[in-house]
Amino acid sequence: MSAGEAAAAARTWRRFTPAQRLARFAVYLAMVAAVVASIRHVEVIPEFLYDAPEQVRDLLARMWPVDVAHYPAGVHDALVDTLHIATLGTLLALAMAAPVGVLAARNVVPVTAVNLAARFVLVSSRSVNSLVWALLFVAVFGPGPLAGTLAIAFRSIGFVGKLLGEALEEADPGTIEALRAVGAPWFAVLAKGYWPQVQPAFWSVALFRWDINVRESAVLGLVGAGGIGMALDTALNLFQWNRVATVLAAIFIVVLAAEVAVTAIRKRVL
């Protein structure tokens, strides 16, 4: 065995470089420090926790029996409204997000200033929670489903637009080049070159967002933006827990049905 081979055999093999190991260690340390600091600082009253099993028992006792008779009068319309809010909001978001997503894609619109402006719109839409959007729109348009629909739409622009922009940037340049070579104008390249390629991704994102929006529109009523959340809020404020249970059961079934529907559509169509 030569000296070089012996040195190689004696060498300790490690998967990561020292810099990588240091970075990982720093992340672990920061995580532990953050958790410890949070535990020590956060105000949690342990006495409330001892009481919890009893409170939960009380809650369940008040919720049972579920007030099914309340459903036709007080829940059904609100539930249908919620579905309309989610669907209309999603459609509105698709209409608004499509142009912004196109402007954000660097290969479709090769102007950096436009790309950055579009990205800024998308990021601001995403960093405001749909409940905050709802609060803002309630202040502007008054309580009701209009505020809820706009809140859903404005929150979804960022999501749909970002994913559409990414899909456009990943599009295969072959067909695009072919269209450009025959002198197709910009819009024709977009409609006949990019659109067929991103269409499946676009509809899949739209479905996914609709599913999320059904969940989110159910809570918007808590801040007055229409839908089943209003029914929930009323029942909660009056401590009518058996009606709360009705509303929760209705939300649960609708959310489940939406998820099943989305899965089925995705399997069959996309």
Partner 1 sequence: MSTSARTAFPTNWWHRAAWLAVAAYVAYAASRLDFTWARFTTGLGQGARFLDRMFPPDFARWELMLKGLVESLEMAILASAVGVALSLPIGLFAARNLMPAWATWPARLVIALSRSFHPVIVAILFVKAVGFGALAGILALVVASVGFVGKLFAEAIEEISLKQVEAVRATGAPFASVVAYGVLPQVFGRFVGFATYQLDSNLRNSTMVGIVGAGGIGGTLFAAFQRFDYDFVCAILVSIIAMIMAGELAANWVRRVFVQRGRVDEE
Residues engaged in binding partner 1 (CB under 8 A): 20, 23-24, 26-27, 31, 34-35, 37-39, 41-45, 48-49, 51-52, 55-56, 59, 81, 84-85, 87-88, 91, 123-124, 127-129, 131-132, 135-136, 139-142, 144-146, 149, 192, 215-216, 218-219, 222-223, 226, 232, 236, 248, 251-252, 255-256
- Closest among 159, 138, 145 to 94, alpha carbons compared: 159
* Cβ 69 to partner 1 shortest distance, Å: 22
Closest contact distance (angstroms) between CB of 42 and partner 1 is 4
Q: How far apart are CA 138 and CA 120, in angstroms?
A: 24
**217 in Cβ contact with 227 (< 8 Å):** yes
165/159 Cα distance (integer angstroms):
10
Q: Which is nearer to partner 1, 8 or 116 (CB)?
A: 116
> Measured from the CB atom, is 108 or 125 closer to partner 1?
125
| Torsion, CA 228, CA 233, CA 234, CA 235, rounded to 10 | 90
Burial class (CB in 10 A: 0-12, 13-18, 19+), 115: middle
Q: Minimum CB separation from partner 1 for residue 174, in Å? A: 18
Measured from the CB atom, the residue of 2 and 237 that comes closer to partner 1 is: 237
Q: Where are the alpha helices (H) located in 105-144, listed in sequence order?
A: 112-127, 130-141
Nearer to partner 1, 6 or 124 (CB): 124
Nearer to partner 1, 109 or 136 (CB): 136
Beta strand ranges found along the chain (DSSP E): none
- Smallest distance from partner 1 to CB 96, Å: 14
C-alpha 261: how far from its chain's center? 18
Q: How far is the CB of 121 from partner 1 (least distance, A)?
A: 14
